Amino acid sequence: VKIRLFIVLTIAALIVLGCAAPSGAPQPPAQAPAAAVTRGGTLRVGLNSDLTTMDPHMSTAAVDRQVYQSIYNPLVRLDKDLTLKPELAEKWDFTDPTTLVFTLRKGVKFHDGTDFNAAAVKFNFDRMMNPDNKSPRASEISSVKEVTVVDDSTIKLTLKAPNASLLAVLSDRAGMIISPAAITKFGKDLARNPVGTGPFKFVEWVTGDHLSTVKFDQYWEKGTDNQSLPYLDGVTYKPVTDASQRLTSVKTGTLDLIDQIASKDYAGLKGSKDPIMSEVAALEWQGLEVNNAKPPFDKVGARQALNYALDRDSIAKDVLFGTVTPGQGPISPSSWAFDASINTYKRDVTKSKDLLTKAGLTAPVKFDCMIVNSPDGLLLGQAIKEQLTAGGFDMNIVQLDFPTALAKYNAKDYTCFQIGWSGRPDPDANFYQFMHSTGSQNTYNYANPKVDELLDKARATYDQAQRKDLYTQATKLVNDDGGIGAWLYWPTNIKVWSPKVNNFLHVPDGMMRTKLLWLTKAAQ
């Protein structure tokens, strides 16, 4: 009966599909470059996860930051090439290595009508720095000792020690300024009642369904038509956790712009005109990370062998369908500090086996590795296992859900874990906390005084060229030690949108900035 049913089903499905697919249907003509911007329309954005809080001082989920792009403005803005541009701060100056002075923009208003000024900025910093508030931002701005109001539009940050990464931090949540009146009024409920200076005002948030915003009429920035931004009437965000459904939505016109796709869909979207796919090297890195205190990886030879056994090119091409760049460091190709010479390991399974023998280990060298139990995660885990087998290892895949694996990892109760870091614009935030012996995220028990010295120096140097050189040296040292285990690849950030969406600025941080977007008139 089962077989018959299967045949019936298959035939039925084939008939239905055969009738349905409009294959070879003519593509709409490519959109001519628009001479002028058109205003109006509501943009529908598909997010990859549910939102958690609208309070940037309390958020720990990347998805929240997408909505903040509409509701808030940071002090400084991150550009495509990861340089920093003025936003709420018109200019800034390190008057000495531990004093940062911001000149703030005048005439900016919060959505509730209160004025944006130096007192508001100080109020925000004090809120993040107050230990009672337990703000996740506190550690990001821990280098700040004191914030002083100089005058209504000047604010001074006094630092405990020179910190070259601070400015980039202020382009994200720590630099987004919330209305002090709203903080006082709502307290913890600010999570669902955000009030910022951004181009769009918050309207409503139906958890798990949508969050809607509407154009803020008194927004400070002007568009190319010399009228106030934004061009759009509103932006609605919808969490669609299933990647296939998200893509179908933008193909069928239910959504206009989506974040992230499944890697299997990448090839099919390349070169497509409807929808349009945009890709840019992200800030993120992924690795096969090991605990330097647990056998077999307490031996440097085993960690080096791991690096030789891996075939990063095959992982990028065959497992992840070209949606990543193979790589061996914490600084991705999107950064000004990127240096391709850090890729020192080439696959060599004989060398891998030799190193294991020299380290006093007998092949196959057994170890457990935690792999997050998602379909993509397991596929990657299987490929790694096979590659390592050829190099003299016997990796046992331990499938765990993400929170469980993360808990073990944080407690340093693991041998090996395939995980990564979402990345930050400044290299310091992608490197120091992981590889410095005192780093808060150094779950590897890795310590190399020379690396510590280089990282400390890079943090205290404001010269970009010097910093780049220091990071390159540090990365090479860590790679020689196999300090993290093995860095694997740098993901590509992918966005897909309908052809009616114009003017998308694809910054490597993957944030969807909405103030400059506009919709083609006919499509509204």
Partner 1 sequence: MTRYISKRLIAMIPVLFLVSVIVFTLIRLIPGDPAIAMLGEEATPQMIASLRAEFGLDQPIPVQYAIWLGRVLRGDLGNSTRAHQPVTQAITERLPATIELTLLSLLISLTIAIPIGIISATQRNSKMDLLSTTLALMGVSMPNFFLALLLSFVFSLNLRLLPNIGYVPITQNLRENLIDMIMPAITLSAATLAIVARLTRSSLLEVLNLEYIRTARAKGLAERAIIIRHALKNAMIPVVTIVGLQVGALLGGAVITESIFVLPGVGKLAVDAIFSRDFPIIQGVVLFFSVVFLGVNLIVDVLYAFLDPRIHFG
Interaction residues for partner 1, span 391-430 (CB under 8 A): 400-404, 406-407, 410, 419, 421-422
The residue from 40, 113, 187, 208 that contacts partner 1 (CB under 8 A) is 208
Q: Does 28 help bind partner 1 (rule: CB under 8 A)?
A: no
Complex with partner 1: residue 38 or 52, whichever CB lies closer? 52
Name the minimum Å distance from CB 234 to partner 1.
Answer: 16
User: What angle do the packed helices 449-460 and 464-481 form, to 10 degrees?
Assistant: 160
The residue from 38, 42, 48, 53 that contacts partner 1 (CB under 8 A) is 53
The answer to whether 309 and 392 are in contact (CB under 8 A) is: yes
Q: Does 254 help bind partner 1 (rule: CB under 8 A)?
A: yes
What is the distance between the alpha carbons of residues 74 and 66, in angstroms, rounded to a whole number? 13
The stretch near partner 1 (CB under 8 A) out of 16-24, 106-114, 330-338, 389-397 is: 16-24
What is the distance between the alpha carbons of residues 41 and 519, in angstroms, rounded to a whole number? 7
The stretch near partner 1 (CB under 8 A) out of 204-212, 216-224, 457-465, 473-481 is: 204-212
Name the minimum Å distance from CB 347 to partner 1.
Answer: 28
Report DSSP letters for 52-80, one per residue: --S-TTT---HHHHHHHHHH--BSEEE-T
Facing residues of 210 across strands? 206
The answer to whether 212 and 21 are in contact (CB under 8 A) is: no
Complex with partner 1: residue 236 or 314, whichever CB lies closer? 236
The answer to whether 102 and 119 are in contact (CB under 8 A) is: no
The residue from 188, 270, 346, 366 that contacts partner 1 (CB under 8 A) is 188
Q: Does 207 help bind partner 1 (rule: CB under 8 A)?
A: yes
The stretch near partner 1 (CB under 8 A) out of 4-12, 160-168, 274-282, 497-505 is: 4-12
Q: Does 272 help bind partner 1 (rule: CB under 8 A)?
A: no
In three-state form (DSSP H/G/I as H, E/B as E, the rest C), the secondary structure along 214-240 is: EECCCCCCECCCCCECCCCCEEEEEEC
Name the minimum Å distance from CB 302 to partner 1.
Answer: 26
Q: Single out the residue of 523, 204, 458, 486 nearest to residue 345, CA to CA.
A: 486
Strands 276-281 and 393-400: unpaired
The residue from 96, 209, 318, 394 that contacts partner 1 (CB under 8 A) is 209
| Residue 115 three-state SS | strand
Complex with partner 1: residue 227 or 244, whichever CB lies closer? 244
- As separate numbers, helices (DSSP H) first and strands (DSSP E) second, the chain gives 16, 20
Residues that bind partner 1 (CB under 8 A): 1, 5, 8-9, 13, 16-17, 20-22, 50-53, 60-61, 134, 136, 139, 188-189, 191-192, 206-209, 238-242, 244-245, 248-249, 251-254, 400-404, 406-407, 410, 419, 421-422, 440
